């Protein structure tokens, strides 16, 4: 009985020492962590500054529907490429060269029907790329329709639109902007066409 009591007291004593030791260790870790976070925030701050400096100042549409953007001094020697998301991909729709005088740039964009999603990509002389935030604008133009899916001489649209045509193998055969497309030189068969904000296929007879 005395032996059991002695073992129990020893176990309790060891448990107490273990708990105290853990408290000391946790306290030490807390102090170390607090010191690191108070003196080591420069990494996060530098990262956020890099993000700010690598972004355009602003990207927006003016009252006339023209896209405008402001750029920091680091964008003096670069090319700005305006991209529009349509046909399930980002499509380049305008290109503007930067210079040392301008702080604001602009581009006229051919909007498709419904909601347009736009961004600006800058490419420096060294090849470094930076991409702006996304901006959206809604066009009130009517949805463009393809007037026939079986064509022999030309494709006709209900309005002027940007377009891309691919053959059955996925090779691009034409791109442009028009209300009509002459297809007399195309071989017979199935083709795919991107226009307005949609993708369809047509058969060349």
Mind giving me the DSSP string for 85-133?
EETTEEEEEEEEE--SS-SEEEE-----SEEEEEEEEEEETT--EEE--
Whether 190 and 117 map to the same domain: the answer is: no
CATH of the domain at 82: 2.60.40.10
As for how many domains the chain has, the answer is 3
Is pLDDT larger for residue 149 or for residue 17? 149
Beta strands in the chain (DSSP E): 58-61, 67-70, 78-86, 89-97, 104-107, 114-124, 129-131, 135-139, 150-151, 154-166, 172-182, 189-195, 198-204
For residue 76, the 8-state DSSP code is: S
Quick check: pTM over 0.95?
no
- Single out the residue of 2, 109, 14 nearest to residue 62, CA to CA: 109
Average pLDDT over residues 155-166: 98
Q: Which of 118, 139, 160 is the last residue of a domain?
A: 139
Q: Indicate whether 41 pLDDT > 90.
A: no
pLDDT in tens, 99-145: 877 789 999 999 999 999 999 999 988 898 999 999 999 999 999 99
Give yes or no for a contact between 62 and 55, defined as CB atoms under 8 angstroms apart.
no
Q: Which of 83, 114, 139 is the last residue of a domain?
A: 139
The range of the structural domain enclosing residue 78 comes to 55-139
């Amino acid at each position: 009985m005395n032996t059991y009591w002695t073992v129990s007291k020893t176990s309790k004593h060891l448990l107490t020492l273990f708990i105290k030791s853990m408290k000391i260790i946790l306290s030490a870790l807390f102090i170390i962590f607090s010191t690191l976070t108070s003196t080591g925030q420069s990494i996060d701050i530098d990262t956020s500054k890099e993000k700010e400096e690598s972004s355009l100042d602003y990207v927006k549409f003016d009252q006339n529907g023209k896209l405008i953007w402001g750029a920091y001094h680091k964008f003096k020697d670069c090319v700005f490429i305006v991209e529009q998301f349509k046909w399930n991909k980002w499509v380049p729709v305008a290109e503007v060269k930067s210079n040392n005088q301008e702080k604001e740039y602009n581009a006229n964009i051919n909007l498709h029907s419904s909601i347009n999603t736009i961004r600006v990509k800058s490419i420096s002389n060294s090849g470094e790329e930076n991409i702006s935030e996304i901006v959206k604008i809604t066009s009130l133009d009517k949805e463009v329709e393809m007037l026939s899916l079986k064509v022999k001489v030309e494709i006709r649209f209900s309005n002027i639109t940007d377009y891309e045509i691919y053959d059955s193998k996925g090779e691009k055969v034409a791109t442009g902007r028009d209300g009509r497309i002459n297809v007399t030189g195309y071989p017979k068969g199935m083709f795919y066409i991107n226009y307005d904000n949609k993708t369809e296929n047509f058969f060349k007879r």
